[in-house]
């Protein structure tokens, strides 16, 4: 079948989409770039907040209209939403044909075959459903092919699932318990990516610091980091770190390994111990700030980013002020800031009453302002300095080319200075809260050629 895959959600879904696509091609299906050309549309979905679910509802609504107007198209719901009752209900409502959970993506081809057979025998709207959260032995060993040639940043999942039970979060239910992938599979994928010209590899997991804890035969995360760094990428990044397992040996690996980037994404979620307890985050404010101090001491250039939820049920003005004051101590370079979104099926949804929307958005607004201040301060540290930038695309204005620094800043340079995408050495001239602006000054330090526009 001519198939189009739509991907929402985190980088893990993007990585899973590569597996889905390779399974489809191996199973004799064709990939098409436009949904309008497809006989089968697969939605790889996210369920972490209300908004990504609304997006899926809107796409399913459009497809239902097209079908009613006579289009014959098969619709598949994959990813995190497909694992939940919420997804099942949507499948019923919108006539979805295939439901395949995130632990069953390698079953996509047999699921399509089963659907075709069922359609042939019964004729009307059969549905095929595959959900499986027991990953070990198949998906965990499965080798994902490298991304398409020309890809500069490659994502590599090192573990699946999550053993934490943060009360607001649906992920443990959609992705199951933590399972680390074998070291050999990870290194094999990393080598294949590097051979294909990928300059930056991003190691992925809901909680990468737990890598190896489920299997005594595996190395620790810090050891894995060093093993992947040895593959020879100019850059190695990783996400997401959990403060509970963020150990000093990881800080050592960042400090001592040149190509492991000075960039850490360490979600704190709240600055109030009372709220952290109600969220069931297993650390407290002081422990978090200790990690930040150790990081800044050992890795002085480190760029630190975080995730924050504002307006968690029961959050008082005083709790929120604790988050603001944590900001002033931690001085995050950037943050993903979310208003709490009650997710059916989570403990917080069952136990606590949601705060009024106005309170959540008013606090979010104040936090965004505070973050702007610290982002600008953080970015100004780099004014006048040279940074190495992986330039990936032309900016929307057409006048700039856009990329990311080793420390993960968004960096813009004049497009005329860039002849091809890739690593460039850039002198930073000007910082805003959201980006660094500069000019290309020469060859990047690892010797990648830098042809300047004449």
Q: What is the binding site for ligand SF4 (CB under 6 A)?
A: 162, 164-166, 169, 171-172, 206-207, 242
Query: Rounded to the nearest whole angstrom, what is the least distance from the CB of residue 19 to ligand F3S in the complex?
Result: 14
Residue 444 interface partner, choices ligand F3S, ligand SAH, ligand SF4, none, CB cut-off 5-8 Å depending on type = none
Which residue number, 10 or 390, has a Cβ lying nearer to ligand SAH?
A: 10
Residue among 43 and 171 whose Cβ is closer to ligand F3S: 171
Q: How far apart are CA 93 and CA 26, in angstroms?
A: 32
Three-class DSSP labels, the chain = CEEEEEECCCHHHHHHHHHHHHHHHHCCCEECCCHHHCCEEEEEECCCCHHHHHHHHHHHHHHHHHHHCCCCCEEEEEEHHHHCHHHHHHHHHHCCCEEECCCCHHHHHHHHHHHHHHHHHHCCCCCEEECCCCCCCCCCCCCCCCCCCCCCEEEEECEECCCCCCCCCCHHHHHCCCEECCHHHHHHHHHHHHHCCCCEEEEECCCHHHCCCCCCCCCCHHHHHHHHHCCCCCEEEEECCCHHHCCHHHHHHHHHCCCECCEEECCCECCCHHHHHHHCCCCCHHHHHHHHHHHHHHCCCCEEEEEEEECCCCCCHHHHHHHHHHHHHHCCCEEEEEECCCCCCCHHHHHCCCCCHHHHHHHHHHHHHHHHHHHHHHHHCCCCCEEEEEEEEECCCCCEEEEEECCCCEEEEEHHHCCCCEEEEEEEEEECCCCEEEEEEECCCCCCCCCCCC
Residue pair 14/50 in contact (Cβ under 8 Å)? The answer is no
Work out what residue 172 binds among ligand SAH, ligand F3S, ligand SF4, none; the CB cut-off runs from 5 to 8 Å by kind: ligand SF4
Name beta bridge partners: 44: 7, 78
Closest to ligand F3S by CB, 10 or 299: 10
* Residue 239 is a binding residue for ligand F3S (CB under 6 A): no
In whole angstroms, the minimum distance from the beta carbon of 329 to ligand SAH comes to 19
Query: Site for ligand F3S (CB under 6 A): how many residues?
Result: 12
Q: Closer to ligand F3S at the Cβ: 7 or 407? A: 7
Partner in contact with 340, chosen from ligand SAH, ligand F3S, ligand SF4, none, beta carbon below 5 to 8 Å by kind = ligand SAH
- Interface residue with ligand F3S among 7, 13, 270, 323 (CB under 6 A) is 13
Tokens of 183: 């070291």
Cβ neighbours around 360 below 10 Å, total = 20
Q: Binds 341, which of ligand SAH, ligand SF4, ligand F3S, none (CB < 5 to 8 A, cut-off by type)?
A: ligand SAH
The mark string for 119-158 relative to ligand F3S (x by CB under 6 A, - otherwise) is ----------------------------------------
Polymer length in residues for the chain: 454
Select the binding partner of residue 13 from ligand F3S, ligand SAH, ligand SF4, none (C-beta < 5 to 8 A, by kind): ligand F3S
x-or-dash string of contact with ligand F3S, 154-173, rule CB under 6 A: -----------------x--
Stretch of residues binding ligand F3S (CB under 6 A), selected from 40-48, 278-286, 426-434, 435-443: 40-48
Q: Which of 57/195 has CB closer to ligand F3S?
A: 57
Residue 307 interacting entry, from ligand SF4, ligand F3S, ligand SAH, none, C-beta within 5 to 8 Å by type: ligand SAH
Q: Minimal distance in Å, beta carbon 210 to ligand SF4?
A: 9
The residue with its CB nearest to ligand F3S is 9
Q: How many CB atoms lie within 10 A of CB 122?
A: 9
Is position 10 an interface residue for ligand F3S (rule: CB under 6 A)? yes
Site string for ligand F3S, 77-116 (x = CB under 6 A): --xx------------------------------------
Q: If we measure between CA atoms, which residue out of 405, 401, 414 comes closest to residue 381?
A: 405
Interface residue with ligand F3S, options 5, 24, 42, 47 (CB under 6 A): 47
Nearest approach, Cβ of residue 165 and ligand SF4 (Å): 6
Of positions 175, 388, 400, 408, contacts ligand F3S by CB under 6 A = 175
Q: Which residues bind ligand F3S (CB under 6 A)?
A: 9-10, 12-13, 46-48, 79-80, 171, 174-175
């Amino acid at each position: 079948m001519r198939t189009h895959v739509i991907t929402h959600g985190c980088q893990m879904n993007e990585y899973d989409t590569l597996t889905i696509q390779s399974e489809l091609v191996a199973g004799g299906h064709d990939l098409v770039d436009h949904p309008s050309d497809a006989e089968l549309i697969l939605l790889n979905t996210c369920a972490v907040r209300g908004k990504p679910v609304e997006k899926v509802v809107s796409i399913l609504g459009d497809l239902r209209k097209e079908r009613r107007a006579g289009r014959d198209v098969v619709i598949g719901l994959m990813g995190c939403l497909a694992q939940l009752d919420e997804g099942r209900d949507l499948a019923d409502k919108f006539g979805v044909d295939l439901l395949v959970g995130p632990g069953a993506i390698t079953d996509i081809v047999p699921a399509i075959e089963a659907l075709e057979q069922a359609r042939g025998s019964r004729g009307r709207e059969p549905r095929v459903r595959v959900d499986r959260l027991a990953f070990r032995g198949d998906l965990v060993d499965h080798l994902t092919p490298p991304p398409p040639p020309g890809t500069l940043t490659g994502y590599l999942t090192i573990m699946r699932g999550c053993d934490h039970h943060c009360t607001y979060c649906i992920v443990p239910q959609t992705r199951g318990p933590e399972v680390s992938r074998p070291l050999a599979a990870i290194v094999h994928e990393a080598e294949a990516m590097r051979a294909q010209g990928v300059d930056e590899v991003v190691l992925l997991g809901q909680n990468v610091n737990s890598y190896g804890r489920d299997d005594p035969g595996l190395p620790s995360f810090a050891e894995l980091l060093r093993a992947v760094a040895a593959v020879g990428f100019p850059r190695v990044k990783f996400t997401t770190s959990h403060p509970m397992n963020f150990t000093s040996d990881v800080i050592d690996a960042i400090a001592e390994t040149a190509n492991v980037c000075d960039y850490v994404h360490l979600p704190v979620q709240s600055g109030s111990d009372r709220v952290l307890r109600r969220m069931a985050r297993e650390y407290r404010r002081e422990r978090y700030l200790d990690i930040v101090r150790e990081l800044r001491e050992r890795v002085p250039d480190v760029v630190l980013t975080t995730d924050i939820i504002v307006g968690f049920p029961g959050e008082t003005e005083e709790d929120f002020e604790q988050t603001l004051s944590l900001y002033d101590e931690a001085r995050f370079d950037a943050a993903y800031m979310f208003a709490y979104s009650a997710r059916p099926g989570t403990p917080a949804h069952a136990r606590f009453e949601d705060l009024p929307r106005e309170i959540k958005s008013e606090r979010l607004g104040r936090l965004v302002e505070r973050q702007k201040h610290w982002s600008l301060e953080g970015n100004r540290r780099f004014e006048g300095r040279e940074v190495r930038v992986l330039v990936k695309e032309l900016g929307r204005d057409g006048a700039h080319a856009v990329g990311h620094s080793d420390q993960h800043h968004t960096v813009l340079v004049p497009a005329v200075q860039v002849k091809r995408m890739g690593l460039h050495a850039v002198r930073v001239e000007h910082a805003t809260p959201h980006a660094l602006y500069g000019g290309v000054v020469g060859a990047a330090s690892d010797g990648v050629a830098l042809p300047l526009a004449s």
